[in-house]
Amino acid sequence: MSGLLDGLPEAERALLREAPPGARIAERPMKAELSDRRDFTEGWIFERKLDGVRALAVRENGRERLLSRTGRRVNETYPEIVEALAAQNRADFTVDGEIVAFSHGRTDFSLLQQRMGLSTARQARASGVAVTYYLFDLLRLDGMDLTRLPLRTRKSLLRRALDFHEPLRFTTHRNQGGQRQLDEACARGWEGLIAKRADGRYLRRRSPDWLKLKCEWGQEMVVGGFTDPAGSRSGFGALLVGHYEKGALRYAGKVGTGYDHRTLLALRSGLDRLETATSPFADPVRERGVHWVRPRLVAQIGFTEWTRDGLLRHPRFLGLRDDKKPHEVVREVPREER
């Protein structure tokens, strides 16, 4: 056991277990639930909600693996992060965090997307898009499983176990949060806050111990079709998107804004390869000039609210996601509405 772990209180040392080998401890990362809760008692901490992609990193037996939320290896997409992990004095750890790209001081998912699709380190370095890896949890250290420890203890160990220099950053937190703090976060251009139970364990599932407090609506959507472009527009007119409900893809509306010329052409090329003769949606779609596609693509969509008919109001395209499987995309409902 390492010196850091030897210094834990006896009650917390009793919670430690020998960690499984390899990346198994990084499987099925903990996920937050969307919530409209704004009144919190003591016992919660509040982190900035980052607009990026989830990633877990494993260092073991002299090698590093950077894994997406679905377990896909992304070492070649973010080589500078892997190098920073390899430079650590600690030889054995597993961390959880979020990879982001900044534009004018704010995280920019559209900018990050320029890195997400790259598959070689050479392409990644030539992209000109700098990334930062914000670490917020420590799951394993020196062969020991830390997931049963309280969150506040895991974060304290994380801060002391690793050296934080670019592109690695420690995710700081506050001990108070609520509507005022969320308003301040929104005014600074943040996506929102993540509220976490300070004494909570790391659970490999979606849990109410982690809550997403958003400044605006936004979530993943599955692409099921597109419309023809009109006028001088290239590529396509709008994406037709939906989410799964009891195994059926439910239609949520069309998304016609948020694209630049290059994105329109690149998306159209990918959509053409997925075109199919029948609609993947369980609901009727009353649009003209529709092309159906197999539901393989997941897009991040921002919007103002859901309508009573279950459609997106004022949706806009933010980018494609490759870290979530289409069948996992469901309508996110704040916990207090359930």
Q: What is the pLDDT of residue 87?
A: 96
Residue 61 makes CB contacts below 8 A (sequence gap 6+) with none
Render pLDDT for 32-59 as a digit per residue (tens, 0 to 9): 999 988 889 899 999 999 989 999 999 9
Q: What is the pLDDT of residues 168-209, one digit of tens each?
A: 999 999 998 888 899 888 878 788 999 999 999 999 999 999
In whole numbers, what is the pLDDT of the chain averaged over residues? 92
> What domains can you pick out in the chain, each with its CATH number?
15-214 (3.30.470.30), 217-337 (2.40.50.140)
What pLDDT shows up at residue 1?
55
> Quick one: pLDDT at residue 337?
42
What is this structure's pTM?
0.77
- What are residue 156's phi and psi, to 5 degrees? -65, -45
Percentage of residues of the chain with pLDDT beyond 90: 74
- Out of 31, 49, 212, 214, pick the active-site residue: 49
pLDDT at 200: 97
pLDDT in tens, 106-125: 888 889 989 998 989 999 99
Least confident of 130-139, 184-193, 200-209, 294-303: 184-193
Backbone torsion region of residue 80, taken as left when φ is above 0, otherwise alpha when ψ lies between -120 and 50, otherwise beta: alpha
* 93-100/132-141 β-pairing: antiparallel
What pLDDT was estimated at residue 174? 94
pLDDT grade for 14, boundaries at 50, 70 and 90: very high
Centre a 10 Å sphere on the Cβ of residue 248 and count the other Cβ atoms it contains. 12
324 is an active site residue? no
pLDDT of residue 43: 94
Mean pLDDT of 78-100: 96
Look at residue 248 and tell me whether its pLDDT is greater than 70: yes
| Calpha distance 267→293 (Å, rounded) | 12
- Cα gap 227→148, rounded to integer Å: 50
